[in-house]
Chains A and B, each alone.
Chain A
Amino acid sequence: MNTATLPIELPELTRDDLSRYSRHLILPEVGVEGQRKLKAARVLCVGTGGLGSPLALYLAAAGVGTLGLVDFDVVDASNLQRQIIHSTADIGRKKLDSAEEKLKALNPALNVVKHDTLLSSANALDILKDYDVVADGTDNFPTRYLVNDACVLLGKPNAYGSIFRFEGQASVFATKDGPCYRCLYPEPPPPGLVPSCAEGGVLGILPGLIGVIQATEAIKLILGIGEPLIGRLLLVDALKMRFRELKLRKNPECPVCGTHPTVTHLIDYQQFCGLEAASEAPKSVKNGIPQLSVKDLKRRIDAGENLFILDVREPFEYQIANIGGKLIPQNEVPQRIGEIDRNQEIIVQCKSGGRSQRIAEFLKQSGYPNVTNLAGGILAWSDEVDPRVPKY
């Protein structure tokens, strides 16, 4: 049976605990002893967003004694379609504070530890070491690998969940005999190959489904009951409402958890994932493509310049908001390249500058002499030039 390691001395249950958790206490699989294990348990929720919201709420409801929360982000209106631990009144507020408030309203006895920081190689081991189980609800590949490696190095099980549009994955990684995330995915995808929620969209309910599965796994690990998703990858297709399971094996040659590990310290995960390190000053040239700010674009439009703005988003996005660019969705650019004038400066634009950068690089490689990327995309235009342009 796989369990998280808990202290030998389990805390007593108070009268309030006995009445609050009565429905757990009468379940043979939990009982008083199980509830005491939950009370002793310390779970770290990395991320208090889509996955973290239901995860943290259900762990608090279940009577987990200590919840650590890691998030440095602030609540945005677009989060509220799925990040149900936050509310409209919290827009602009730190997610950590908003989450803590709701969790303590649900369960005042809960001990909340806020880690107001970006999890990094410099602090991950220090933060994770005080917890029994880690639940990874983050939104980017470098952190996924960081959390995985830290869990393996520290011997903490990782209740993993991830989502994309309407599909989800869930598993338990980094147990002693089970696989880790790197056994499944030894290398991250090159940046830009797998779209994010902001680019691809996500069905709001999806992190709800997967987040609660993560909470379930965390509770099973703490109680030592049932069959955790160790060595199993649960795949969820919410549109078809199909649940499939694939076998995951521990890779004996895994660089982190294999028999001869080569990764014994945390590494630079940004570099591992092929991403540039975040820098203070905005870069004016990126991968050979000059970056144009939205303010400079506005200046040039006002000066009467005849500009070719190539909008590489999808038609439905153009319908929501556009700045009058010529719409050729990114996947159609190769076939429709004849419509893009080689003799003009092409200013490529998308929602926030990611897709447009890739298409700009593609055009340059295809021989276009004069290509520019609109840094920050239409979102930056809305923020800095014309707030009447809707953000989405």
Chain B
Amino acid sequence: MTIYIPTPLRTFTAGKDAVEVNAATIAAALDELTVAYPDLRKHLFTSEGKVRAFVNIYLNDEDVRYLPAKEATEVSPADTLSIIPSIAGGRQTR
């Protein structure tokens, strides 16, 4: 299945905007992604392994948080995962 990588995270996937993974659940797909691109891990997950609150993961067009099985939801090859971080353009933060 395809995982869409948002622009701010593409520096950690060698510029790729989409990564193909072979996994049975959402959690497994994200694991495979962060094993392939370890620098992504700290941007997606807290040290306890939970998805960070300013990142949203969507299975097709549904927020994973609202799926009954959440990250344990089974996926098929035709599904897509999207990582949607918050963006605010403009001013530098210090």
In this complex, which of B6, B11, B91 has the most chain A Cβ atoms within 10 angstroms of its Cβ? B91
CA distance A144 to B94 in the complex (A): 17
Contacting residues, chain B, for A245 (C-beta < 8 A): 61
* Complex Cα gap A189–B55 (Å): 8
- Inter-subunit contact B88/A195 (CB<8 Å): no
Digit string of A149-163 for contact with B (CB within 8 Å is 1, else 0)? Answer: 000000000000011
- Closest chain-B Cβ to A208's Cβ sits at a distance in Å of 13
- Known A164-B7, A185-B54; contact A196-B92, beta-carbon cutoff 8 A: yes
Tell me, in angstroms, the Cα distance from A163 to B92 when the chains sit together: 14
Contact status B86-A141, CB under 8 Å: yes
- B41 CB-CB contact with A under 8 Å: no
Cα-based distance from A194 to B43 in the complex (angstroms): 10
A191 interfacial by beta-carbon distance below 8 Å: yes
With contacts A276-B94, A357-B94 known, is A141 near B8, CB below 8 A? Answer: no
How many Å lie between the Cα of A276 and that of B94 in the bound state?
A: 8
CB < 8 Å neighbour of B88 from A144, A244, A352: A144
How many chain B residues have a CB neighbour from A under 8 Å? Answer: 28
Number of interface residues of A (CB under 8 A): 49
Q: Which residue of B lies closest to A329 (CB)?
A: B11
User: Are B94 and A196 within 8 A (Cβ)?
Assistant: no
Residue A6 CB within 8 A of the other chain: no
Tell whether, in the assembled complex, residue B63 and residue A247 are in contact, meaning their CB atoms are under 8 Å apart: yes
Seen from chain B, the residues whose Cβ lies within 8 Å of a Cβ on chain A are 6-8, 11-12, 39, 43, 52-54, 56, 58, 61-63, 66, 82, 84-94
16 further interface pairs, Cβ-Cβ under 8 Å (given A187-B54, A192-B94, A245-B61):
A138-B88, A163-B89, A186-B53, A189-B52, A189-B54, A189-B86, A191-B93, A193-B43, A194-B8, A196-B90, A196-B92, A196-B93, A202-B89, A275-B93, A352-B92, A357-B94
10 contacts between A and B (CB under 8 A): A141-B86, A144-B86, A164-B8, A164-B88, A169-B84, A196-B91, A199-B92, A245-B61, A249-B63, A331-B12
